[in-house]
Each structure stands twice: as C-alpha cells, then as structure tokens.
Amino acid sequence: MASVADLVEERAIRQLVGPEPYADGLALADSGAVRLVEFGPMTVVAEVADGSPEPRVELESLDGELAWRCECPEGVAGLGCRHLAATAIVIWRRSPARRGEQ
C-alpha cells in the first residue's frame, strides 16, 4: 500500500496544485513555515505559518490515492493550494529515500 510520502512526489504535486501555488508552497517550505503535527506513513497533519489562524493541512493515503484537505479558502473550495504544496514538499524531503533515488 502506498504511503503519503509515496504519493507526494514533485511531479504529482505540481500537477495537482499548479505552477503558482507550487512556487508559493516551495517558498513556505524553504522558510520553515510547515510544522508537522502528525507524521505517519498513512496520515500526515501539518500547520503552516501563513496567516492567522495557521491553516491546517491533512494528507492521507486512501486505497493508494492521495486524499487531502486544507482549511484555507482555496483548500475548502477543493483547489490545490500553497499549503498543500508546502506540506507535500516537506514530507518528500523528510521521508526516507525511495528505490532508485540513492
């Protein structure tokens, strides 16, 4: 079964959120704005220091597909947002190397 980390590779997240939210998410990730509250193989919860209140992002692996939600207006509307991108980038960076990446 695919873990959240398996589902958040760069290409998939870029496609999900689009170029501008991805670039904004990369800046948030690089600035240390993402705080992982829960970091497990099948579920990740994060808070992103980008406003008040800080948006909470939840990612889950459900039947090999990435399910997610974010509390920001874009996320509530079902759109991929910078908070989702930032969280995914941090997850990818903190996860163990996958086969073929070493």
In a domain? residue 73: yes
Res. 26: pLDDT tops 80 = yes
Residue 100: inside a domain: no
What pLDDT is stored for residue 98 in this prediction? 59
Mean residue pLDDT of the chain comes to 93
Query: How confident is residue 38, by pLDDT bands cut at 50, 70 and 90?
Result: very high
| Domain presence at residue 101 | no
For residue 99, being part of any structural domain is answered with: no
Q: What residues contact 77, with CB distance under 8 A and at least 6 apart?
A: none
> pLDDT category, 96, cuts 50, 70, 90?
confident
Is 56 part of any domain? yes
Quick: pLDDT tens for 48-71: 999 889 999 999 999 999 999 999
All residues at 6 or more sequence positions from 96 whose CB lies less than 8 Å from its CB, including other chains: 5
- Residue 75 confidence (pLDDT) above 90: yes
Range of the structural domain that residue 29 is part of: 4-94
Residue type, 100: G
- Residue 14 within any structural domain of the chain: yes
Q: How far apart are CA 36 and CA 86, in angstroms?
A: 11
pLDDT at 95: 85
Instruction: Give the pLDDT of residue 102.
Output: 47
Q: How many CA atoms lie within 13 A of 91 on its CB side?
A: 33
Domains contained in the chain, number = 1
Of the chain, the percentage scoring pLDDT greater than 70 comes to: 94
